[in-house]
Amino acid sequence: MTETFAALAEPNRFRIVELLRVGARSVNEIGERLDIKQSQVSKHLRVLKEARLVEVEARAQQRLYGLRAEPLRELNDWLARYRDLWDERFRVLDGLLTELEQKKERVHARRHSPKRK
Amino acid sequence: MPADIHRNENESLTRAGTQVERASGRELVIRRWFRARPRTVFDAMTKPELLRRWWAPAGIVLIECEAEVRVGGRYRYVFGRPGEPSMAFSGVYKEVVHGARVVYTQLFEPMPDTGDGLITTTFAEQEGGTLVLQRELFPSKEVLDGVIASGMERGMRETLEQLAVLLAELPA
């Protein structure tokens, strides 16, 4: 996981990953699409490969770089569980807020001219 | 990561539920819309007697909850699973604008070496309710990575409650 984040933390690498979501591409294509020098693209791809975020496949004469879903799925899983934790709390909070608002309404209705807001 | 954290801004917040995104290497952003006024949500998320009613996820008990909600004031939440050693979050309020904004440091006491995180929560009136945006800035990218990695390692075996002990953050 740590490598996943380290790899994604660099903006150009993140852009590469975003691009590869559509499908595998060659170094040239990536460089042209994102306007990054080919040598830089290769460097970034090396980091992404080490983080197991991309894999190379040889197709015809070309080497195509494609996304590996697993590390991204791990990240998504974690964020999803963190969200579930908060969502669970917030659903209880929803009930409390309804109760508090109703209480305020009642207090407000009882007063003809509230001294303080 | 790029700033597409705001891409959901114009979608209906009332239906979006709770959203969590990693906004940068060391930052998580949680957003949620509530059907109540900002003042009410602010109170529910800061006053100990109200926090006690919702903060602890299933299986976790909030043992102590103290909060002096003013600039320089301290808070401490002690929590745990019954029959196990308790843990605590604590920190100091840096900014307090009642009903609108609160900023505070956060230390997970069992791991003091990780240092303080900084939580910024804003309460904005929107669509007849309140949009809460909570930015959790971790002490470093490594700490957030570590939190995530520890969650992943145990991942599949953990129940949501056990995960909560590791990851639970303070509400505003």
pLDDT of residue A104: 86
- For B18, the closest chain A residue by CA position comes to A87
Does ipTM surpass 0.85 in this model?
no
Taking contacts as CB-CB distances below 8 angstroms, the residues of chain A near B18 are 83, 86-87, 90
CB B93, CB B72: distance < 8 Å: yes
Buried/exposed code over A13-49 (b: 16+ C-beta within 10 A; e: otherwise):
bbbbbebbeeebbbbebbbeebebeeeebeebbebbe
Taking contacts as CB-CB distances below 8 angstroms, the residues of chain B near A15 are 2
Output phi, psi for B69, to 5 deg: -80, 80
- Check A77 against B20: CB less than 8 A apart: no
Digit-by-digit pLDDT tens for chain B (172 residues) are 444 444 444 456 666 788 888 888 889 999 999 999 999 999 999 999 999 989 887 778 899 999 999 999 999 999 888 888 888 999 999 999 999 999 999 998 887 877 899 999 999 999 899 999 999 999 888 778 777 765 544 432 333 333 334 333 423 3
Q: Is the pTM of this model over 0.90?
A: no
Question: pLDDT for A16-72, tens place per residue?
Answer: 887 887 788 999 999 999 999 999 999 999 999 988 889 998 877 889 999 887 766
Tally A–B CB contacts below 8 A: 105
> E strands along A1-117, which residues?
54-59, 62-67
Residue type, A95: G
Using DSSP, how many helices (H) and how many strands (E) does chain A show? 5, 2
Taking contacts as CB-CB distances below 8 angstroms, the residues of chain B near A14 are 1-2
